Structure formats: structure tokens, C-alpha cells
């Protein structure tokens, strides 16, 4: 995306900026920045897909006037049915860049960005008079707030508290505090079920698990995806040697010899690639047909989503330890969540061939 000269920027500010007289409250975003907002926010641009998903769950879709370019890729092709109006919403940037002129022309009061958006990008938007709110969904130690792959002494606490604070922040910005609290309460009351049934599994008995992404990329420590596997009773084989998100070698995966392989719902082609590639056939998970395509609601993007914590971890635990969750009907669990927060039933996508039904 192009940068703007000071003259052009000044012209944009004079032409389109939100009058400061309407700004009457202060919030603190997840970078610790104090941001002045209008008393009522009803027009927002969203340049982070996790925040976009949370806004839909808070029933604020109609307030979204601009989105990031690749939101469908990030959220999965099936997401359109949950927020059909997004298809016709202007795309104006991505996680780390912005088309400033297009944003300003939409007259938003707030632009939501990710915590690792470049400072220059935040400054450019702020100088037009539009409030910028950064969301991380993590409760980071000081100095780690801007990082994509932070050092987290306590990952569980960082993501649990960070999600609560992130939802609360978005709810405050949008004047949807009641909806935000309901989402938080539902998520963490549901999450207790999984933990209670897995509490007696010793570390040595945990099932060795690998998260397969395209091009041999995977998640190790410092990402919610790894924590999700841990909460579902898995031992993430990449956790000890991979920090964050990175590419590994097939030789390394073969050496890890995972008993189960999970593939995120947005990468269904990876399931077929693994099952049909002769080089993967010696791996325990492939030999025993335990390569599973995750459902949409698991949404393991390295960041937590409420549905991942509430029902995604439960789905994963049931795949790993079916005998402990024989009484759990995941369709009923998913329908209850989707009816409450997406205002529709859950409709599972067709699983890829040999995806471990």
C-alpha cells in the first residue's frame, strides 16, 4: 500500500476527519495505548480477522464498513454464511498495511488493527482523526505487546486473560458490554468440562500430536494452537523445538512420529496431501488413519477464539480420547454455540477423504 505525503495527509484530515467534539470517552487498547472515542461508535473498519470474527459474534456486523483484503482466506470459505453482508464490504488493507485514502472515504470512527501492525500504519490512520484500537487477545508481559511471537512465561494465563480483556475491549468500543460478558461467561463455563475429564492424564500418557499446515509449517510454543492441543490432552511434538509458527522438515516430522495429526479447516487439501504422499506413510498417525480435519469452530489460528475454547478444545479432546467423551454429541454442542452467538445452526463442511470421521 502506498504512503502519503504530509500535504495529502493534511488534505484528508481536513476533508474527512471525525470531529473531536463528538469524542467523549477514553479506552485503553491491548498495546496499552489510551484512545479517545466518540460516545457512540457505529462505523468501524476491521484490519484483523480475529476482531472481525468477534464483532460478528457480538452482533455488530452491520457496523462494519471496511475489512481486510483476505478475510475469507483467514476465516475460511464457509464463514460467508455467518455474515453474508461482508462480501460486499470494501476491502481497504491487511494486517500490516492500509489504503489510507480508501479508509478515510468510508468515514469510520474506529479502525481495529492487530497488535503487530507497524507503528507507521497506526500513526497514518491516527493523524486523520480516526481512532485506532489495537487488539492482541493476549495479556502480554511488558515489552512483548507488539510481537507476533511473544515470549510468554505463562501461555495459559496470557491467552485466557488476554481473550477476556480483548472481548471486553471490543464490547466497550462498540457499546456491547452485555453481549461481550455473555460471550465470556459461556466460553469459560463450557471450557471446564474438557479440563475436568482430562485432569488425571499423566504427561507421559498424552497422545503425541502434530498440527499440519501447508508447506510443512506448524505451530510450536508461544501460540494458542499449541495451548489448545495441551488443553485437549495432547503433547504437541513441535513445542520443544519450534517457537511460534515456522517451517520444519519432513524428516523432523517423521522423527517426531505423531500419533495424531490435526489440520485446520481452512486447509482441507493438506489432509489429502498427507494421506496420499508415500513419504508420510511411515508416520503413526497416517498408518492408523488418525489425520483429522478440524471443524470450522476450532479456528486454531495461533490466536484463541471463544468457540475454540468453548467447543473446539472439546472436539479435539474427543478425537484424542473418545472413550472419555462418549456421551458428548458435538453437533448438539456446536448448534448450541452457533445459535447463541451466530444466530444460526452449525452446518459442518464435508470432510476431506480419509479425514478421520
74 — pLDDT class (breaks 50, 70, 90)? confident
Bridge partners for 291 per DSSP: 261
CB of 348 within 8 A of CB of 332? no
In this prediction the pTM is 0.84
The dihedral through the CA atoms of 147, 148, 149, 153 has a sign that is positive
What architecture (CATH level 2) is domain 199-341?
3-Layer(aba) Sandwich (3.40)
How much is the pLDDT for 22? 56
For residue 7, what is its C-alpha cell?
500535504
pLDDT at 116: 95
Q: Is the pLDDT of residue 354 over 60?
A: no
CATH fold group of domain 6-175 = Rossmann fold (3.40.50)
The torsion defined by the Cα of 337, 178, 140 and 47, in degrees rounded to 10, comes to 80
Distance between CA atoms of 63 and 43, rounded to whole angstroms?
5
Q: Which residues of 320-352 are buried (b: 16+ CB within 10 A; e: fewer)?
A: bbeebbeebebeebbebbbeebbeeebeeeeeb
Would you say 209 and 261 are in contact if contact means Cβ atoms under 8 Å apart? Answer: yes
Domain boundaries along the sequence of the chain: 6-175, 199-341
User: Are the folds of 6-175 and 199-341 the same?
Assistant: yes
> How many C-beta atoms surround the C-beta of residue 194 within 10 A?
25
Q: What is the pLDDT of residues 29-63, one digit of tens each?
A: 999 999 999 999 999 999 999 999 999 999 999 99
Amino acid at each position: 500500500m502506498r504512503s502519503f505525503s504530509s500535504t495529502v495527509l493534511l488534505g484528508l484530515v481536513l476533508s474527512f476527519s471525525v470531529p473531536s467534539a463528538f469524542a467523549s470517552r477514553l479506552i485503553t487498547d491491548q498495546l496499552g495505548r489510551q484512545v479517545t472515542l466518540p460516545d457512540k461508535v457505529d462505523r468501524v473498519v476491521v484490519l484483523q480477522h480475529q476482531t472481525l470474527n468477534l464483532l460478528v459474534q457480538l452482533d455488530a456486523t452491520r457496523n462494519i464498513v471496511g475489512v481486510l483484503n483476505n478475510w475469507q482466506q483467514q476465516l475460511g470459505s464457509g464463514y460467508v454464511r455467518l455474515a453474508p453482508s461482508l462480501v460486499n464490504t470494501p476491502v481497504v488493507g491487511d494486517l500490516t498495511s492500509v489504503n489510507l485514502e480508501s479508509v478515510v472515504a468510508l468515514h469510520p470512527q474506529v479502525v481495529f488493527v492487530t497488535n503487530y501492525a507497524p507503528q507507521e500504519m497506526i500513526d497514518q490512520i491516527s493523524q486523520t482523526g480516526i481512532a485506532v484500537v489495537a487488539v492482541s487477545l493476549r495479556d502480554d508481559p511488558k515489552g512483548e505487546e507488539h510481537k507476533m511471537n511473544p515470549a510468554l512465561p505463562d501461555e495459559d494465563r496470557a491467552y485466557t486473560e488476554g481473550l477476556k480483556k480483548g472481548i471486553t475491549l471490543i464490547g466497550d468500543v462498540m457499546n456491547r458490554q452485555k453481549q461481550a460478558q455473555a460471550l465470556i461467561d459461556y466460553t469459560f463455563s463450557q471450557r471446564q468440562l474438557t479440563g475436568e475429564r482430562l485432569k488425571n492424564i499423566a504427561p507421559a500418557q498424552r497422545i503425541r500430536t502434530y498440527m499440519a499446515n501447508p508447506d510443512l509449517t506448524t505451530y510450536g510454543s508461544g501460540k494458542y494452537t499449541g495451548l489448545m492441543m495441551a488443553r485437549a490432552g495432547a503433547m504437541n511434538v513441535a513445542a520443544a523445538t519450534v517457537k511460534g509458527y515456522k517451517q520444519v522438515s519432513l524428516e523432523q516430522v517423521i522423527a517426531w512420529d505423531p500419533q495424531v495429526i490435526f489440520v485446520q479447516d481452512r486447509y482441507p487439501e493438506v489432509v489429502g496431501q498427507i494421506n496420499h504422499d508415500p513419504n508420510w506413510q511411515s508416520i503413526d498417525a497416517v498408518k492408523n488413519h488418525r489425520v483429522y480435519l478440524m471443524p470450522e469452530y476450532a479456528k486454531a489460528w495461533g490466536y484463541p477464539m471463544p468457540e475454540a475454547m468453548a467447543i473446539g478444545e472439546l472436539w479435539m479432546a474427543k478425537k484424542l480420547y473418545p472413550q472419555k467423551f462418549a456421551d458428548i454429541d458435538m453437533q448438539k454442542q456446536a448448534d448450541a454455540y452457533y445459535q447463541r452467538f451466530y444466530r444460526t445452526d452449525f452446518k459442518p463442511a464435508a470432510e476431506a477423504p480419509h479425514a478421520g470421521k
